[in-house]
Amino acid sequence: MAEGLVVVSNRLPYDIGREPGRGAPKRNVGGLVNAIEPVLAERGGKWVGWDGAMLPSAAAVAQSWARPRSTRLASGVVLCGVPLSERDVARYYHGASNRALWPLFHDFPGKTVLEPEDWVAYREVNRRFAEATLRYARPGERIWVHDFHLMLVPRLLRELGFGGRVDFFLHIPFPPAEIFRVLPWREEVLRGLLGANTIVFQVGRYKRNFVESARSLGVVAPDDEIRGPITLEHEEGSTRASAEPIGIDAADFVRLAEDPEVKARSVQIRRAYGPRPILFGGERLDYTKGILERFLAVERMLRTNPSKAGTFAFLQVVVPGRHQVEEYRQMKREIDRQVGRINGEWGGEGWVPIHYRARALDRPELVAHYLAASVVLVTPLRDGMNLVAPEFVASRRDGDGVLVLSEFAGVSEHLPGALAVNPNDVEAFATTLVRALSMPERERRERMDRMRPFVEANPATAWAERCLALPPGGAVRAERAG
Ligand code: GDG
């Protein structure tokens, strides 16, 4: 039997802390939750994360802290809540995490907002997560910390005296050293991470970036050959660094793709657009996802090939979120403006180029769209890995469909059958769209066949096993800093 596992991430899959009587707990949409849920459902364990409630004051947090809230799911997984106040959410989550770390780690230094007060909250909340984890974890259990919201937690666990195994996985890119050094709290982040026995990245390049930054702290590492785990020697001991690409619950997508209701729904979607092939994009509202660049490429295609007008339907679903952050509100306005402008300019009787929906689809509906689409566009400006691309491949058991994939998505190195694009190159992007729309069936099938092996051989559960089976770095000293 697998040893007990405690997963720690900013958010739980369901907001268990919302007031009773306000309906069923809301499910959180996002790559991290979708990848970890099947892993925990299979091996069992606990999941520590923010419970979704925004408490009015620090006093309310202290009160909630006295009565920890946990919920057992039907799968046996126990969700363990960490309380946050409105101020914590504003400063730690929207501030330090979403306005500083997220843009910087995705190579958008120009969008990065560095507020010292946000960092104070980040530190405090990371400590609260570490304390909560130790409260919920039983002796002998191992702790698996996730993502950029919680990069100080590994070291904080050590400071609180935890001597067991701590692993860390970063879902987003780790930026090049020249960009990372912009962060005023860079040393604290590196030391925070180095409290873990293992630090795992999505792809070798992010690992190499991390190692290069860590050298500035005097960390000793062998010359990195990108792939394969390496050992980092540092003041506190040693830590293994590796790259393990995350996977999806492919079987669930196959099951849905074969479900008669989902199939019928996909036919209905296709009919709604007449005989026109559907180009489909679906993601969270985020400037990293390249949604505006995609609109501009569609427009460029129309400008250079006016005869394409009326011959396709482009359907873009955007899951709203992070609207407390100005950069996201701005982006939403810009999307609305561009869709209006492009449709106004290019639309005609009974046809508009862009169909835009600003709301989440549930998973069966999402799969119905993957099935209805002739072309799926996954064209982020930067993306740690990206799960939409493998989900589309897994869903297309019929072997048809074209994937247009940004070379800046971590997953691009694993999906050789995709049509690769640089989303910043609007002309090449437009040409690729034309090529995708006119690709002969034989080539479509041949390309899809080349993508299936990676997706099927790399389910989320196998990814987790690989991460958790890494031999740990040597003992990390458990001691109180300064
Ligand atoms: C982070 C990293 C990394 C999309 N539209 C709808 C919907 N989705 C689901 C997809 C997919 C998930 O959201 C998005 O996952 P991504 O991986 O594409 O992106 P992030 O949320 O940014 O995830 C990313 C990931 O962590 C895992 O490590 O791959 O690079 O940024 O699963 O299916 N889900 C629903 N309705 C939608 O309309 N329900």
- The pLDDT value recorded for residue 66 is 84
**Tokens at 338, concatenated:** 């561009």
Tokens of 355: 């169909």
> What integer pLDDT is reported at residue 358 of this predicted model?
94
Is residue 470 within 8 A of residue 240, CB to CB? The reply is yes
Asked whether 31 lines ligand 1 (CB < 6 A), one says yes
CA torsion through residues 19, 24, 25, 28, sign: negative
Q: What is the model's pTM?
A: 0.95
Q: Report yes or no: 371 and 262 within 8 Å, Cβ to Cβ.
A: yes
Q: What angle do CA 25, 28, 30 make, to 5 degrees?
A: 170
How far is the C-alpha of 189 from the C-alpha of 192, rounded, in Å? 5
Tokens of 98: 């979403």
> Is 383 close to ligand 1, i.e. is its CB under 6 Å away?
yes
Can you name the residues that pair with 357 across neighbouring β-strands? 317
Ligand 1: which of 170, 362, 387, 414 to mutate, judged by most atoms within 8 Å of the beta carbon?
387
Atom number, ligand 1, closest to the C-alpha of residue 202: 28
Q: Residue 474 has what pLDDT? A: 63
Ranges of the chain whose pLDDT falls below 50: 1, 478-482
Span 247-297, pLDDT tens digits: 998 999 999 999 999 999 999 999 999 899 999 999 999 999 999 999 999
Residue 364 contacts residue 260 (beta carbons within 8 Å): no
**pLDDT for 394:** 98
Ligand 1 centroid from CA 111, angstroms: 22
Q: How many angstroms separate the alpha carbon of residue 391 from the centre of ligand 1?
A: 10
Model confidence pLDDT, tens digit, residues 171-230? 999 999 999 999 999 999 999 999 999 999 999 999 999 999 999 888 888 876 666 889
